[in-house]
Each structure stands twice: as C-alpha cells, then as structure tokens.
Structure 1
C-alpha cells in the first residue's frame, strides 16, 4: 500500500512511538511522531492542513494529557480525525473523548489488524472532511460574488417572502426583484429556492456565516 496521507502519533513512550512508526511506515503510511502534546501543537502551527491526516494520541502523557490535547486541537481549528491509545479507559474518559468527536479507542498492547482498520477508517473520514471543506469554500466564493442588493434579496428568500413582498420591503419594483433573483440564482448555480436553502443550510451546519 502507498499513500500520501499522514498519520500523527503522539505518545511520551518512545518505545511505542518507534514501534508504531515502523509498523505504519512498513505498510506505506507517512508517519510523524511527537513525544508530547505541546510539541505536536507547535508543529501543527506551520503545517499544511490540506493533506488528509489523522492522529493517534496517548491518553496519559506527561504534561498535557491526550484529552486536553484533543480540546486544544478543536480550539485551534485543527480539523482531523483523532483516536486514542490507552492502557485502560474508564467510562468518563471515553464519554468525554467521544463528545469531542473522537473516532475510537485502541488499547495496549495494540492489535495490528485493529490498528490498520482504525487508521483506514479515520483517513476515509478525513477525505470526506477535506472534500466538504472544499465544497464549503466553493459556496462561500460564489456568495462573495453577489452584490449587496442580491444579498438582501437572498435574505428575504430565506425568510420565505414572495417577489411581491420582497419588492414592498425593499421599496423596489417586482421586475427589479425578479432581475436580482435571476442574477443571484445564476451566480450561485441553483435553479430553485429550495436548492438555495439547502446550499445555505450546509454553510450553517459548517458554522459559516452565509450572508454578511
């Protein structure tokens, strides 16, 4: 297997790092290891985030714990799948990790089959996340081409107003509303109001401001 995907491994046990690096690299993965959460966060500051990636993180580490690292990754906008390596896992720990989006836990000693299945699952998810991010960026770029008037019309369409109602609120002719509507639908490459609503809903779910 050959891949350009990156697997991050964060563990303060150097023997575990060496073992996982050898195992994963021998199966075609690019592996980048870090012996502390702090070191990993510093490394990510200057890293290209467009490459599909995932992280295996030890729960118990000196300094910042794996769970605290997970929260820092979220706070700093590093959006890639995370799973945890652990010698044991209690319910509160697992619950907290899953609430913050962890994919899974893998226990020591690590089973190779379970490891590869987990890595493949995380990278598949990472590909989906990158694809969605590209689509969201594409939608935002289209919205930025709208004029201020067209954006106003979009807001009224979203609220469910008809062309006549939009014209009354904006103080313009119905034909002008129709022209704005035709232009914005063409720019956004949609042909129905419902399609426009679905497009804006995707932005809302991604926590992106649709119309500024």
Structure 2
C-alpha cells in the first residue's frame, strides 16, 4: 500500500459510508466517500487519474445503480479496479459485473479482514495497470518516431514476411529493407525480431482490451 493510493467508496447509505471510512482510514488508507453514483462521476471529472486507486461500490443505490455506474466508468475511460458490496446478489447481476471487469463481490454486513484483503488486492492491480499504461504509452510514442516506410516494414514483419518478401511487396531492394529494419529497431530500442513482435503484441492487446471495455 502506498500512502498516495486512494480508495473510493460509493453508497447512498450514509451510515455505511461513515463506518467504512472509519475502518479503512484506521488501517492507513486514504478514503474518499460519495453518496451517489452521479456525484462520484462529477467528482472524477476534476480528479487527477494518475494516482493508483480503486472503488468499492454498492450495487443498489437510488438513481444510477452500481452496475450502471460500472458501465459508465468504462465508457468514460476510467480504468481503476472496481468491486461491489451488496446485501443480496443474484447470478445475472454477478455475471454482468464480472464480464465488465469487476474484481469481486463482498457481502454485507462486511467482514473487516475480507474487506482489507480485497482493498489490498485492488490497489496492487491498480499499480500494475498504471505501470502497464505507462509502458504502452512509451511504446506508442516510440512508434510515432518511425517514418512511413519504417511503419510499412513493421506491418510486414508482423505478418511474418522475410526481408526478401518485404522488398518484393514494397518494390525496393533487400538492402533497403534491411536498413529500414535496423533503423526502426534502433528507434524502438529492441535488438531482436522476437522482442519487436512482443512489443507490438502488447500494443495490439491493449487496443483489443480497450475496445472490449466500451
């Protein structure tokens, strides 16, 4: 746990908010409570999202429900880990939440150690997600430094073509392909084709994940 980490708690029951805030803060967490999904969304609009965070959300609330809030968060690009608390959860409800990436459901009344374990698990995941996002951003920035020709060579490398095949398709000499390949690998700071493929695979997986969450 990092002292800068933030735990969001969203519940329309003020007594539960107070209880959870006291419990979590007494165990060293920074806690921000919100009494409605709508208020929470407005708060996030003006919040720095670079800080590792997680959210514990009540399923049944007046106005926007917890599950609707989860979908809204995903559509707006908020990617912190989310778990739900509820007094009752049916199978369709749980299934829908997990399909959208929920970490867990926790039953009310909430047990202290189960809650603390869940919060720790979510914050560890949040740190991992922030690190991965930073690395993906750096990779994309490196890709943007490539020339149009170098980007074309990358596409052919990904498709599994050899240098001579790339040269034939692009209508250039094999030596030119080799030069482009050497330049792009230098710009991307990789020294082996397999490392290049792994790097590009991470970009592709990140894009697929982003699409699936929309």
In the other structure, the counterpart of 1:141 is 141
In the other structure, the counterpart of 2:111 is 111
Measured after TM superposition, the shift of residue 98 of structure 1 is 0.8
CA distance in 2 between counterparts of 1:53 and 1:2 reads 10
Cα-to-partner distance string for 1:165-208 (whole Å, 9 max, x where unaligned): 21122121111111110000111111222211111110111017
The within-5 A match list for 1:35-74 is 35-74=35-74
CA distance in 1 between counterparts of 2:164 and 2:101 reads 45
CA distance in 1 between counterparts of 2:164 and 2:91 reads 57
In the other structure, the counterpart of 2:9 is 9
CA distance in 1 between counterparts of 2:154 and 2:4 reads 41
Measured after TM superposition, the shift of residue 161 of structure 1 is 1.3
CA distance in 2 between counterparts of 1:168 and 1:92 reads 54
Moved over 3 A (4+): none
CA distance in 1 between counterparts of 2:131 and 2:4 reads 16
Structure 1 residues not aligned, in runs of 5+: none
Partner SS for 2:190: coil
Measured after TM superposition, the shift of residue 2 of structure 1 is 6.4
CA distance in 2 between counterparts of 1:182 and 1:126 reads 36
In the other structure, the counterpart of 1:186 is 186
Partner SS for 1:54: strand
Measured after TM superposition, the shift of residue 22 of structure 1 is 1.1
Measured after TM superposition, the shift of residue 3 of structure 1 is 1.6
Partner SS for 2:4: coil
CA distance in 1 between counterparts of 2:90 and 2:162 reads 55
Q: Would the aligned equivalents of 1:10 and 1:55 in 2 still touch at CA under 8 Å?
A: yes
CA distance in 1 between counterparts of 2:56 and 2:2 reads 19
In the other structure, the counterpart of 2:132 is 132
User: Structure 2-normalised TM-score?
Assistant: 0.94
Matched, 1:84 2:84: yes
Number of equivalent positions:
208
Partner SS for 2:207: coil
CA distance in 2 between counterparts of 1:111 and 1:15 reads 16
Measured after TM superposition, the shift of residue 66 of structure 1 is 0.3
Identify which of structures 1 and 2 has the higher relative contact order when contacts are C-alpha pairs closer than 8 Å and 6+ apart. Answer: 2
CA distance in 1 between counterparts of 2:119 and 2:3 reads 12
Measured after TM superposition, the shift of residue 23 of structure 1 is 1.1
In the other structure, the counterpart of 2:151 is 151
